[in-house]
Amino acid sequence: MKSILVHEVGLRDGLQMERQTVPLERKLAWLRTLMDAGVDVIQVGSFVHPTKVPQMADTDQLFRELSQPGVRRPGPLLSGLVLNEKGLDRGLVCGVEMFCMGVSASETHSQKNTGMSIAEATDRIIAIGVRARESGKRVQVSVQSAFGCGYEGEVPPERVLGLVRRFVEAGLTNISLADTAGHATPDQVKVLYTELFRIGDGIECACHFHNTYGLAMANAYAAVQAGVTSVETSIAGLGGCPFTKIAGGNLCTEDFVHYLHQTGQREDIHMKPLIDLAADVAAFLGREMSGMVYRAGPIPETGA
Rounded-to-integer distance, Cα 183 and Cα 27, Å: 30
Distance CA 216, CA 83 (A): 25
The conformational region for residue 131 under phi > 0 = left, psi -120 to 50 = alpha, else beta, is: alpha
Rg (CA), the chain: 18
Picking from 71, 181, 189, 91, the residue whose alpha carbon sits closest to that of residue 136 is: 91
Q: What is the 3-state secondary structure (H, E, C) of 39-103?
A: CCEEEEEEECCCCCCHHHCCHHHHHHHHHCCCCCCCCCEEEEEECCHHHHHHHHHHCCCEEEEEE
Residue 100 among the catalytic residues: no
Q: Report the distance separating Cα 298 and Cα 292, nearest Å.
A: 9
| CA gap 219, 209 in Å, rounded | 7
Largest CA distance in the chain: 57
3-state secondary structure of 8: strand
Cβ neighbours, 10 Å, residue 93: 11
Among 94, 207, 241, 252, the one annotated catalytic? 241
Tallying the residues shown for the chain, one arrives at 304
**What are the catalytic residues?**
241
